[in-house]
Amino acid sequence: MRAGSRTPPWIVGLGVLVAVAAVAPIVVKWLNNPPDQRMVDLEVYREGGAAILRGAPLYDVLTQPPQLLPFTYPPFAAVLAVPFTLLPWKAAQWTWTALMYAALTVAVLYAFRDLIRRAGRWAPVAAGALVGATAWLWPASDQMRFGQVGFLLMALCLADCCARSARWPRGVLVGLAMAIKLVPGVFLIWFWITGRRDAAGTALLTALAAWGGAFALLPADSRDYWFGAFLQGGDRTGAVGGTTNQALNGMLAHVLPESPWRSLLWLVLAVAVALLGLRLARRATVAGDALGRPGPFGGTDLTRAAAAGPSAYTLLLAGAAITGLLSVLLSPVGWMHHLVWIIAVLGALAGDGRDPRRCVLALGVWLYFLFPLPWRGAALSGREHPMAVRIVGRILQDAFGLAALALIVVLGVWLVNRVRTSGDHGERTHGDARVGTLTP
């Protein structure tokens, strides 16, 4: 949309209606799940907030039977959860649902920025349709089933990395995400290796400030976390060998018994994947910077690709998407619902929708992640099946993790090469749209 143009309110309302209609079946399904299977992670957050209010040891509390889940996050996350503790359980569920879908909407606006803009005055409807389409991805649906916080973390990271301009210091939002959960910390490395050193420093200082504030408020719990719960790693957060663990550690645990050799192999693979993935993330981001040119809000490296045309923005987004995938794969446990970063992958592949091959690939990835393939694989891995079927089952059991590995290469190699040969070389499209604080 061009500067000064205004979208009729009824079109905005129609876009909201499309999104609500698309996600309503998901909400109804999971909010009517049996109580012990409904938003269990939100219950973990609430128990953490309740422990703070009554002065109980934060890392000793467990949720109600039969789950009996411990609080596994930094103390800062428990502080943020206190308001949800003060709400009745049903009100907390609905509030959480609304906030997480709002975060999904923000993430979609960044991931599909140029595709949405091509819709012109119908952009709100396009955005609503994309929110609905991404909400049905299995990792995204699982986010709402468990009451997870992944949409918020992804939205914070994408806003920090991909906004055309920001009224906050770059890195603050990544630092906040890292203070809530440690896994977004990989974006510190992405900032650093792509020349965004100030943003890396700001992110680290923000996280340290949040953790320091939590330490001042909860000194005993902070010591318990950093010198206890944190060091327990995957053993505290759940069964490493569970099918839903699609991280490298989980994929190894699906086929190898626990042993020091398996741990050593995981370490070697994690280092190899980290080096390759970060190299490809840097390749994509630097290529986007090269295609970009200074915009009206400044000519820094950080804003150059974000303020330029679709090709430069695609590569910037690809670099962020690769980094997001790495945050899942390199973690001791990376549950299926953590792979909401597939949404950023889809946005990078689709771009502004003018490349048919990229759109077809994006559609294929979307279809692939619509179905719980790892669970289908686990069902085929039992000893009652023939060996050939069990082998296929074992492969399918890691379907999402293997796809994440493949997509890192697709984004960092194939997409970069394709954009370089057919890019807009920094030319702007869609006019010079006005930019707000959280506007992609």
- Using CB atoms within 10 Å of the CB of residue 143, give its burial: 0 to 12 exposed, 13 to 18 middle, 19+ buried: buried
Q: Is residue 261 part of a domain?
A: yes
Sequence-distant (≥ 6) Cβ neighbours of residue 149 within 8 angstroms: 41, 45, 100, 180, 181
Residues spanned by the domain of 145: 9-422
The residues, ordered by sequence, that sit 6+ positions from 179 with a Cβ below 8 Å of its Cβ are: 74, 76, 77, 206, 207, 210, 211
Residue 61, in any domain of the structure: yes
Answer whether residue 2 is part of any domain.
no
What would the two tokens of residue 109 be? Answer: 């606006």
Residue 430 has pLDDT above 80, yes or no: no
Q: What is the mean pLDDT of residues 386-396?
A: 94
Residue 19 forms part of a structural domain: yes
In terms of Cβ atoms closer than 10 Å to its own Cβ (0-12, 13-18, 19+), residue 437 is: exposed
Q: Report cis status (omega within 30 of 0) of the bond before 74.
A: no
Domain total in the chain = 1
Is the pLDDT assigned to residue 423 strictly greater than 90?
Answer: no
Q: Which amino acid is at 132?
A: G
User: Looking at the predicted structure, is the pLDDT value of residue 272 above 90?
Assistant: yes
| pLDDT above 70: residue 439 | no
pLDDT of residue 166: 80
The reply to whether 230 falls in a domain is yes
pTM across the whole model = 0.92
DSSP E strands in 217-348: the ranges are none
Q: Is the pLDDT of residue 61 over 80?
A: yes
201-228 pLDDT tens trace = 999 999 999 999 999 999 999 999 998 8
| 8 A C-beta contact, residue 433 and residue 2 | yes
Q: Which tokens go with 329?
A: 């794969």
Residue with the larger pLDDT of the pair 238 and 225: 225
- Look at residue 293 and tell me if it is in a domain: yes
In a domain, 1, yes or no: no
- Whether 440 is in a domain gets the answer no
Token pair 């279809």 is found at: 367
